[in-house]
Amino acid sequence: MTTIGLVLILGAIVSYLTMIFVLHRFTYRTWMFDVAVGAGVVLGAVSWFLEGGNWHSWSTIALGIMWFLVSRLELRIVGSKELNLRVGDQMPAMTVVKTDGTQITEQDLIANAPALVTLYRGWWCPSSRAQVDELMERYEHLNKKGVSIYAASVDEPEAAAPIQEHVGNSITILCGVSADVLRKIGVLDKRGAPWYDRILFGAPQRPIAMPSTLVIDNDGNITFASRSTRVDEGPRVDAILASLSSIP
């Protein structure tokens, strides 16, 4: 029983690390790994009670507890203490560029409203890919509502070009979002990329955006605002769609 529990935990950990650091993928469904590890811990605990304490049981339980402690710490995003923009607020002034160098301002977003703007951490972040992929999955629902979809980060155009190629014409990738704009919105992460992303992926060390989503109406007002404090969080699509009902 302990062996099965240990295999479950090790399998979940190896799969998770392989997905991120080898395949460069990420899933918001981290609960699947938590379930596997939790089941392993339960099996280890049951074995400990039935067979008496032994190092196999203890190591299985300890490894499972370590998973939850480390993963909760690493999934946490350190950044702005609160989201400064609220529903009804005006979208702050901003100037960014598309991957082809075309300049875009907040007035262009308003002209194409309703506009959904997702802020992501950067090209180096597997969770950002999941964030953008989730936008693509929502494309049909949002397109029927006439929503223009944008994904923005502090990245340079050349670094974000592969993401634009990945999403095609369904999403417009915006680059060069300033730290000042992120601060005004309340999504500035001064810590930037974690140390392992800087080592493994070559991520630059600079302030970045906390994952967040805004919806802007034709008057430049915010009708939806959401910010994640963990990399495995994301806004519910029904909440985004509900915010569109208030836009004429």
Q: Looking at residue 205, which CATH number applies to its domain? A: 3.40.30.10
Lowest mean pLDDT among 51-55, 85-89, 143-147, 211-215: 51-55
pLDDT digits (tens, 9 = 90+) for 29-46: 888 999 999 999 998 888
pTM: 0.85
Query: Do 141 and 64 reside in the same domain of the chain?
Result: no
Query: Do 133 and 21 reside in the same domain of the chain?
Result: no
**Cα(15)–Cα(71) distance, integer angstroms:** 14
Q: What integer pLDDT is reported at residue 53 of this predicted model?
A: 67
Domain membership flag for residue 185 = yes
Q: What is the mean pLDDT of the chain?
A: 90
In DSSP notation, 148-201 reads: EEEEE-S--HHHHHHHHHHHTTSSEEEE---HHHHHHHT-EETT-S-HHHHHHS
Query: Do 115 and 199 reside in the same domain of the chain?
Result: yes
Per the listing, tokens 């923009």 go with 85
Domain count, the chain: 2
Q: What integer pLDDT is reported at residue 225 of this predicted model?
A: 94
Nearest alpha-carbon partner for 99 in 5, 4, 174: 174
Query: Do 128 and 162 reside in the same domain of the chain?
Result: yes
**Cα(175)–Cα(172) distance, integer angstroms:** 10
Domain membership flag for residue 82 = no
**Cα(92)–Cα(112) distance, integer angstroms:** 16
Query: Do 35 and 118 reside in the same domain of the chain?
Result: no
pLDDT digits (tens, 9 = 90+) for 138-166: 888 888 889 999 999 999 999 999 999 99
Distance of CA 190 to CAs 61, 93, 183, Å? Answer: 35, 21, 10
**Cα(140)–Cα(244) distance, integer angstroms:** 14
Whether 219 shows a pLDDT value over 80: the answer reads yes
- With beta carbons less than 8 A apart as the criterion, state whether 99 and 86 touch: no
Average confidence (pLDDT) over 50-78? 86
Q: Given pLDDT bands bounded at 50, 70 and 90, which one contains residue 247?
A: low
Q: Residue 9, SS3?
A: helix
Distance of CA 31 to CAs 27, 63, 145, 227, 239, Å? Answer: 10, 17, 31, 20, 21
Query: Do 71 and 136 reside in the same domain of the chain?
Result: no
Q: Tokens for 247?
A: 């836009």
Query: Do 123 and 20 reside in the same domain of the chain?
Result: no
| Owning domain of residue 50 | 2-75
pLDDT digits (tens, 9 = 90+) for 2-38: 788 889 999 999 999 898 888 777 877 888 999 999 9
- CA 86 from centroid of its chain's CA atoms: 20
Query: Do 132 and 227 reside in the same domain of the chain?
Result: yes
